[in-house]
Amino acid sequence: MVDSRNVVSWGATTYLACGQVDTDYGPAAATTGIANAWSMFRIRGEVPALFDMDNDDRAMFYTDGQDQYMDGGVSDRTGGYFVTKWSNLTDDGSVASNTENDGVDIDFPLFRLADAYLMYAEAAARTNTNLTEALSYVNELRNHRNAAQVAQEDLTATVGAIPYKFFLDERARELYWEAVRRTDLVRFDSFTTDKYVWQWKGGVQDGKAVDNKYNLYPIPATELSANPNLWNDNY
C-alpha cells in the first residue's frame, strides 16, 4: 500500500496511475484524480480484443482518438488504448491526494477472491474434477462483472494449440495490469512460442516466437560475480 501521508512513493500504484495518463492524448489527468500525467503506458490491442467491450465491466479502456493496435510502433502515441483501471478518486468522486507531490492513495491487491476462484476452477478443469463447482465459481465472477455466462466445455477446451485457453484469457480479463500476465503466459507455454503472439513480439509487427530462454530472467551480473556457479540455460 502507498498513501500520500505515511508511505509515499513514485513507484507502486503512483507509477501505474500517473503512467496510464498521457499529457496530449487520452483521458484528462483530473478524471483519474492525479495532478501529473507521465505519458508512459498504453495497452496492446490483443488484450482489449479478449473482451465483449459493451458487456463486461472489466473493460476499462479509454478509446477516444486511439487505435486499438500499435500499427505505427510503440512510439506512436495514438496506437493502443489507455487503461483506466487505476483511479485516485474516492467513492464519492473526490480526489484522494495530490500526486504532484505526495503520491496516490491506491492499494495494490496482493490477494483477490477472483484470483482464488480462477485458480480453483483451472485446477478443477486440469484434473477433470469438481467441474460443476468450478463452473459456478467462474460464472459467479462473470455475473458480478456483467459478463455473459460460459459453459462447462469452455473450461476444458483447447483453442489454437493452447489447452485450457479460457483461463489464460479470463485471467487477462480479470487481472490485467496486476502483474500476473507474464507468469500466466509462461505457464501456458505462450510467452516465447508462436502459440500466442502479439504485435511487435520478437521485434516484428505481426509478432513471432522468440528464444525459450526468455521464460526465465537473466541472473544479475552482481549475483554472478558473487557466485559464478549460478546459471540459467542459454544465457
How many other CB atoms are found less than 10 A from the CB of residue 125?
Answer: 23
3 state DSSP class of 16 = helix
Q: What separation in angstroms does the CA of 195 have from each of 4, 64, 157, 165, 208?
A: 43, 31, 15, 11, 9
Q: How far apart are CA 178 and CA 110, in angstroms?
A: 9
What confidence tens digit (pLDDT) does each residue in 19-66 have? 888 888 888 888 888 888 888 889 999 999 999 999 999 999 999 999
Average pLDDT, integer, range 166-188: 98
* The three grid cell numbers given for residue 46, joined into one nine-digit string: 490483443
Overall average pLDDT of the 173-178 stretch? 97
For the range 47-53, what are the long-range contacts, defined as Cβ-Cβ under 8 Å and sequence gap of 24 or more? Answer: 47/172, 47/176, 48/81, 50/169, 50/172, 50/173, 51/173, 52/147, 52/148
Instruction: Give the model confidence (pLDDT) of 61-119 as tens digits.
Output: 999 999 999 999 988 999 999 999 999 998 898 888 766 666 788 888 999 999 999 99
Compare 37 and 139 and report the one with higher pLDDT.
Answer: 139
Maximum Cα interatomic distance, the chain, rounded to a whole number of Å: 56
* pLDDT tens profile 216-234: 999 999 999 999 999 998 9
Residue 2's pLDDT is what?
64
pLDDT confidence bin for 153, thresholds 50/70/90: very high
Q: What angle do CA 182, 186, 10 make, to 5 degrees?
A: 20
DSSP state of 210: -
Report long-range pairs for 16-19 (Cβ below 8 Å, ≥24 apart). 16/41, 16/86, 16/106, 16/108, 16/177, 17/86, 17/87, 17/88, 17/99, 17/104, 17/106, 18/99, 18/104
For residue 234, give the amino acid letter. Answer: N
Tell me the pTM. Answer: 0.92
> How sure is the predictor about 14, in pLDDT bands with cuts at 50, 70 and 90?
confident
pLDDT at 28: 83
pLDDT of residue 100: 63
Task: With H, G, I as helix, E, B as strand and everything else as coil, classify residue 146.
Answer: coil
Average pLDDT of the segment spanning 173-192:
98
pLDDT at 149: 98
Main-chain phi, psi angles of 221, to 5 degrees: -60, -35
Give residue 209's pLDDT. Answer: 98
Per-residue HEC secondary structure of 78-113 comes to CECEEECCCCCECCCCCECCCCCCCCCCCCCCCCCH
The residues facing 61 across adjacent strands are 83
